[in-house]
Chains A and B, each alone.
Chain A
Amino acid sequence: EPEVTQTPSHQVTQMGQEVILRCVPISNHLYFYWYRQILGQKVEFLVSFYNNEISEKSEIFDDQFSVERPDGSNFTLKIRSTKLEDSAMYFCASSENPLGPQHFGDGTRLSIL
Chain B
Amino acid sequence: SQQGEEDPQALSIQEGENATMNCSYKTSINNLQWYRQNSGRGLVHLILIRSNEREKHSGRLRVTLDTSKKSSSLLITASRAADTASYFCATATSGANSKLTFGKGITLSVRP
Contact = CB atoms under 8 A, between A and B. Distances in A.
Interface residues of B, number: 25
22 contacts: A31-B98, A35-B102, A41-B104, A42-B88, A42-B105, A43-B88, A43-B102, A45-B99, A45-B102, A48-B98, A50-B97, A55-B97, A55-B98, A93-B43, A95-B98, A99-B30, A99-B31, A99-B92, A99-B98, A102-B100, A104-B43, A107-B41
A101 B45 contact: yes
Interface in B25-58: 30-31, 33, 35, 40-45, 48
Nearest to B43: A104
Interface string B92-112: 101011111111110000000
Given A42-B88, A99-B92, 9 more contacts: A41-B104, A43-B88, A55-B97, A93-B43, A99-B31, A101-B48, A104-B35, A104-B44, A107-B41
Q: How large is the interface on A (under 10, 10 to 19, 20 to 34, 35 or more residues)?
A: 20 to 34
B104 A42 contact: yes
By Cβ-Cβ distance, the 4 closest A-B pairs, closest first, are: A104-B42, A98-B98, A55-B97, A101-B45
Nearest to B92: A99
A25 interface: no
Contacts of A4: 42
A103 B45 contact: yes
Interface string A71-113: 0000000000000000000010101011111111111000000
Interface string A41-73: 111110010100001101000000000000000
Given A43-B88, A99-B31, A101-B33, A56 B45 contact: no
B102 A48 contact: no
Nearest to B2: A42
A31 B97 CA distance: 9
